Amino acid sequence: MLNIQQLKKKFRDNAPNRRQLLGIMMLVTAGVTLMTMGGLIMGGLGIAAAVLTFLFVIFSPVLVPIGLVLFLGVAAFVTPAGFTVAIFSSIRWLYEYFRGQNPVGSGKVDAAKRSVTDTAYHLKEVAVDYLHGAQEKAIQAKDNVTRD
């Protein structure tokens, strides 16, 4: 069994040093401060939500049409701007692609082009085979008619 002296020595050997204690104290202080600030912010948000809900209910016959007009006005301004950016981006991408600068996604376009080319070549072979088969059947039918 350990006596009291041995326990005290073991405690002193495993006790945190001053730097560790200072770090723990700073961590606890920062945590308590942040928790307090979070609680105050949550309380303020609750009070603000209650007051603003009351004001919104009172002024909603005026605020809703104004909000709708503002939304439509902003949408009417932002939509053409977005389309313009999309058009210029597309033109820039096409310019880089045709110049051979390999823009993002050009590998997929090249793969799709190869796939379409391979499919067209395969369909051409099938059509030629079908045409030769039809010509042979026509010749056989002609021979059968001339024999009869």
Break the chain into its structural domains and give their ranges: 107-148
Question: In a 10 Å sphere around its CB, with 0-12 CB exposed, 13-18 middle and 19+ buried, how is residue 16 labelled?
Answer: exposed
The answer to whether 99 and 108 have CB atoms below 8 angstroms apart is: no
- Range 118-131 average pLDDT: 91
Q: In Å, what is the CA distance from 103 to each residue of 44, 73, 83, 88, 96?
A: 50, 35, 20, 14, 6
pLDDT in tens, 71-96: 999 999 999 999 999 999 999 999 99
Where does the pLDDT of residue 4 fall: very low under 50, low under 70, confident under 90, or very high at 90 and above? confident
In this model, does residue 136 exceed pLDDT 90? no
Is the model more confident about 35 or about 6?
Answer: 35
Q: What is the pTM (predicted TM-score) of this model?
A: 0.43
Collapsing DSSP to helix, strand or coil, 65 comes out as helix
Q: How confident is the model at residue 148 (pLDDT cuts 50, 70, 90)?
A: low
Decide: 54 and 62 in contact? Cβ < 8 Å: no
Whether residue 116 is predicted with pLDDT greater than 90 in this model: the reply is yes
Asked whether the predicted pLDDT for residue 59 surpasses 90, the reply is no
* In the chain, % of residues over pLDDT 90: 55
Joined tokens for residue 22: 């200072």
- Gyration radius from the chain CA atoms: 40
Region 13-21 average pLDDT: 83
The single-letter code of the amino acid at 113 is: K
Tell me what the pLDDT averaged over the chain comes to: 90
